[in-house]
């Protein structure tokens, strides 16, 4: 019996998924995964998170200073500049703003030169009550065309990473430091980051997540206002204004350096532990 086009496409998808798990050193783990849909339903509840029997209660909103994680989670990192007003001044730690209000305020933005070449503003996507936020650098060509973050090749890898955690994209929130595509996918320049990042800070405060994962150096350096290299801090819990923040490699880097996927998987397991998500042990 010949395979239909749908069968071939499905088999190819499964093959890619297995390859991904193998790259992570997790080959047998997919077989006994808990159904993601049963987990994701619970994750949509803003009040409490119950995953695989373990309860993680969402705290009532506290001032971020009172909600500081234990000292071991905090590392002090030299700020980019100690003079002048902090970029963080734009962020409201006890935000009552909705993402829609922030999006409205952004409008058809012309605050920096990136607006000249963009097709679509890529504001962010996902659960407005997410406990987990991924922050990337800026939209690429696919994102600029579709208006959604991480939908190109790097985005497909990010989706696989999220699914390997037992989650779906709609469980988490995904956004970028800059909302418009830098021409030729160059890094955003400091004036562009300065113009756009206040909107990121407001998004983070509106969602008030339990964990923020910075994908790559731009997100890490922007949130911590540092010019230090991400390499010393990757995989470590850091403190971003009372939020637990963990920097890891950008998926685009992983496409060029697949061997680094195992490090990222270790980082994501830390995040899973923090969120009370079940971590499957590698079968012997
Ligand atoms: N890279 C990013 O940093 N963000 C995207 O949205 C896509 C690729």
Tokens of 69: 């994680």
Q: Of all atoms in ligand 1, which is nearest to the CA of residue 149?
A: 6
Distance between CA 264 and CA 282 in Å, rounded?
16
pTM: 0.74
CA of 188 to the centre of ligand 1 (A): 12
What is the best residue among 120, 122, 139, 151 to mutate for testing ligand 1's pocket, by most ligand atoms within 8 Å of CB?
A: 139
What are the Cα distances from residue 106, in Å, to 25, 140, 185, 201? 42, 19, 22, 13
Residue 283's pLDDT is 55
CA of 146 to the centre of ligand 1 (A): 12
Instruction: Assess contact for 193 and 178: CB atoms under 8 A.
Output: yes
What is the best residue among 203, 252, 254 to mutate for testing ligand 1's pocket, by most ligand atoms within 8 Å of CB?
A: 252
Nearest CA to ligand 1 atom 7: 150
pLDDT tens, 110-136? 999 999 999 999 999 999 999 999 999
Among 120, 147, 108, 126, which Cα is nearest to 206's?
Answer: 126
DSSP 110: -
Exposed, middle or buried, 179 (CB in 10 Å: 0-12/13-18/19+)?
buried
Instruction: Assess contact for 136 and 176: CB atoms under 8 A.
Output: yes
Instruction: Assess contact for 244 and 72: CB atoms under 8 A.
Output: no
DSSP helix/strand/coil, 140 = coil
Q: Residue 282's pLDDT band (boundaries 50, 70, 90)?
A: low
CA of 62 to the centre of ligand 1 (A): 31
Cβ neighbour number for residue 25 with a 10 Å cutoff: 12
Q: Between 260 and 41, name the one with better pLDDT.
A: 260
Give the contacts of 131 (CB within 8 A, at least 6 positions apart). Answer: 43, 49, 56, 58, 209, 210, 211, 275
Q: What is the mean pLDDT of residues 136-147?
A: 98
pLDDT above 70 covers what percent of the chain? 70
Distance between CA 198 and CA 194 in Å, rounded?
7
CA of 43 to the centre of ligand 1 (A): 24
Residues framing ligand 1 (Cβ under 6 A): 136-140, 143, 149-150, 152, 154-155, 176, 252
Cβ neighbour number for residue 164 with a 10 Å cutoff: 23
Cβ neighbour number for residue 76 with a 10 Å cutoff: 9
Residue 249's pLDDT is 98
- Dihedral sign for Cα 43, 47, 52, 54, please: positive
Among 194, 262, 211, which Cα is nearest to 69's?
Answer: 211
CA of 158 to the centre of ligand 1 (A): 10
CA of 137 to the centre of ligand 1 (A): 6
Apex CA 208: angle with CA 206 and CA 213, to 5°? 115
Q: Of all atoms in ligand 1, which is nearest to the CA of residue 136?
A: 3
Distance between CA 263 and CA 284 in Å, rounded?
20
């Amino acid at each position: 019996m010949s395979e239909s086009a749908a069968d071939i496409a499905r088999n190819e998808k499964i093959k890619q998924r297995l390859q991904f798990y193998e790259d992570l050193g997790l080959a047998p783990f997919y077989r006994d995964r808990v159904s993601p849909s049963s987990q994701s339903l619970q994750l949509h509840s803003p009040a409490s998170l119950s995953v695989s029997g373990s309860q993680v209660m969402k705290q009532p909103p506290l001032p971020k200073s009172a909600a500081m994680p234990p000292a071991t989670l905090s590392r002090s990192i030299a700020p980019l500049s100690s003079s002048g007003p902090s970029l963080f001044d734009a962020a409201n730690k006890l935000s009552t703003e909705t993402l829609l209000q922030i999006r409205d305020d952004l409008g058809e933005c012309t605050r920096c030169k990136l607006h000249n070449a963009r097709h679509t503003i890529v504001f962010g996507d996902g659960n407005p009550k997410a406990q987990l936020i991924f922050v990337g650098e800026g939209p690429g060509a696919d994102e600029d065309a579709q208006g959604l973050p991480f939908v190109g090749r790097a985005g497909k890898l990010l989706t696989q990473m999220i699914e390997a955690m037992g989650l779906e994209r709609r469980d988490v929130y995904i956004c970028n430091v800059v909302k418009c595509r830098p021409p030729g996918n160059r890094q955003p320049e400091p004036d562009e980051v300065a113009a756009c990042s206040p909107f990121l800070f407001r998004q983070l405060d509106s969602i008030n997540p339990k964990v923020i994962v910075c994908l790559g150096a731009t997100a890490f350096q922007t949130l911590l206002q540092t010019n230090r290299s991400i390499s010393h801090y990757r995989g470590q819990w850091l403190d971003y204004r009372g939020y637990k923040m963990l920097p890891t490699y950008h998926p685009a880097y992983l496409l060029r350096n697949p061997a680094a996927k195992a490090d990222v998987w270790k980082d994501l397991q830390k995040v899973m532990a923090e969120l009370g998500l079940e971590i499957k042990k590698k079968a012997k």
